[in-house]
Amino acid sequence: MPPYLAREIIGDRKPAEEFAEMPEGMRIKFRAIMPGGSVYETSLATMAGKRVSFFYVAAYPGHQAYLDEIGGIYNLEWPYTAAIRMKSVLQINDVTVAEGAVVGLAQYQYLQVGFLRPGIYDPLDPVWETTNKPVRSGNRYNIFITTQKTSLHEVSRLGHELEDEIHNFLLDNPGLENTTASDDLIDKSLYLSGMTYFSGVDTYSEYASKLVNVVAVSHISMGYVCNEIKPVYFWFLFLGINKGGAHIDVVRGVKCPTSTIGNSDNEVDWMKAVGAIGTDMESEMFKILYEPDSGEDEVDAVSTGEVLTMASIQGIPIHVLKNPATLEADLAKISAHSVVKNHIRSFVNGGYVATIPQHEVVIGNWVGQGWIVADETSGAAGYMICGGLHGETVVLSGGSLSKATDDFFITLLKLGKKAWAWGDKKLIAYTGVIAAAIHLAATIAMIVSGHYIFAGVCFALFVVSILAAIVLIRLLDNYAWIRTRRRKYAFA
């Protein structure tokens, strides 16, 4: 706080200079490149301790008016799910500072966030430390940033403030079963989630420091906490949006440990311990904040540590990959999505060591992989997961809830399982005929209403659905005929 003195030692460590105000060249900068390319840049000091939200709103006034009329995106029905257009918004404490490009609902884009630290690069050629985050239109994100340490006292204060706001919200909205939390309450709960994560990591890291005689300096760290939507599809048909789960993605967690007794091994041990603390907090944070009332099912969450623990309990072999010469043969033994294997390739070929279960792990309704990429020399590591409640293939350095409500896909899977159990295998194929009929009806409706572009899309989907149904029915007929022949021969 002014008046203060800043002593400059950057660059060639020229003699100390005194300033009445911190020069811009000595400030840490924050930059966000929105989907579509628009740029927002400011000093980190203007954002410290503030809530940074990234979310989507309707791109056009008419679309927003329609969403207001029906009560939001969760009440959208086909074919309007395909017609609504969204745009991303970046806010700092409810003030909009940037907007992104127009996109369809439930589509993926990328948000790039970066930091510029003075004193380590040539000021004439600044190098931004950036990360790219896949973002889905309709989701709400909090970008939580800590400049040094996050205190339990601050998290407690935020929690009490949110508790009071929720209490007032309930008083103003009797009949909670018909009430949806306001966007403001959702954003504040996401911010509290992120701060709870950093506070927990910092608190337990302090304990670890005392055990191994290490003093650690925290640098700028950042992550995302996301309130997810869940798109509902059926035979290429985007039927609507359900409420999804939540995930945390810690894209930057920087700490520098120094042994007080000059033992570098203690610094490596401390880094490994803090890595384990960090991955556990990614799931524990959700369990703490989403703890249900008595009588309800307990909230479960997923993290890399949780995945590896469950793999051990379930008897799934865990592989350690470190040799680039045998990497392809080692990866051939692993059952994982290509994005997982490509991630591991890039790190093992760069000198890191990867640890991963042999195949996917099931935790609640969550199905996916968790793995660690580590630098054995320093103990620094990335704790990754890939998968989710709805078959996502986005790599997260974080955790996720393992259960969401109203899972339409689970219902469809149960129906499909029953159909196969009943021996009525054509039931699955005939759903394609039903879907084709819906697409054809929609084509006629769109032509009558004058929406010719959507009519063309609906007609194309009709053709695809009917062709797919015919192929499936023929394949199943052939399968049944072959199986009957085999049974006859076996009987003979």
CA distances from 7 to 14, 22, 25, 26, 409 (A): 10, 10, 13, 10, 60
Distance CA 273, CA 388 (A): 26
Q: Would you call 39 exposed, middle or buried from its count of C-beta atoms within 10 A (0-12, 13-18, 19+)?
A: exposed
Given a cut of 80, whether residue 377 has pLDDT beyond it is yes
User: Which residues is 159 bridged to in the sheet?
Assistant: none
pLDDT tens-digit readout, 448-468: 656 566 566 667 766 776 676
Name the band, by pLDDT with cuts 50, 70 and 90, for residue 296.
Answer: low
pLDDT tens-digit readout, 269-278: 888 888 888 8
- Mean of the pLDDT values across residues 180-209? 80
pLDDT tens-digit readout, 27-65: 889 999 999 989 999 999 888 888 899 999 998 988 888
What is the radius of gyration, based on Cα positions, of the chain? 26
Name the band, by pLDDT with cuts 50, 70 and 90, for residue 106.
Answer: confident
Distance CA 33, CA 15 (A): 37
| Residue 415 in tokens | 């129906």
Counting residues of the chain whose pLDDT is more than 70, the rounded percentage is 68
Q: How many CB atoms lie within 10 A of CB 422?
A: 9
For position 301, what pLDDT does the model report? 75
Range from 7-21, 78-92, 159-173, 293-307 that averages highest in pLDDT: 78-92
Kind and range of the H or E element at 236?
Answer: none
Among the residue ranges 10-24, 298-312, 376-390, 427-441, the one predicted with the least confidence is 427-441
Tokens 């000595």 belong to 26
- Mean of the pLDDT values across residues 289-307? 66
Q: Which of 462, 429, 430, 431 is nearest to 445 (CA)?
A: 462
Counting residues of the chain whose pLDDT is more than 90, the rounded percentage is 12
- Mean of the pLDDT values across residues 232-248? 78
3-state helix, strand, coil in the chain (%, to 5): 45, 30, 30
3-class state of residue 454 by DSSP: helix
**pTM as predicted:** 0.71
For position 250, what pLDDT does the model report? 85
Q: What is the mean pLDDT of the chain?
A: 75
For position 479, what pLDDT does the model report? 44
Given a cut of 80, whether residue 91 has pLDDT beyond it is yes
For position 481, what pLDDT does the model report? 42
Given a cut of 50, whether residue 421 has pLDDT beyond it is no
Range from 196-200, 222-226, 239-243, 488-492 that averages highest in pLDDT: 222-226
For position 18, what pLDDT does the model report? 64
For position 396, what pLDDT does the model report? 67
Given a cut of 50, whether residue 309 has pLDDT beyond it is yes
Distance CA 219, CA 252 (A): 10
For position 400, what pLDDT does the model report? 59
**12 versus 289: which is more confidently predicted?**
289
For position 420, what pLDDT does the model report? 38
For position 405, what pLDDT does the model report? 38
pLDDT tens-digit readout, 60-90: 988 888 888 888 888 888 778 888 899 999 9
Given a cut of 60, whether residue 242 has pLDDT beyond it is yes
For position 75, what pLDDT does the model report? 84
**454 versus 406: which is more confidently predicted?**
454
Per the CB < 8 A criterion, the answer to whether 385 and 307 are in contact is yes
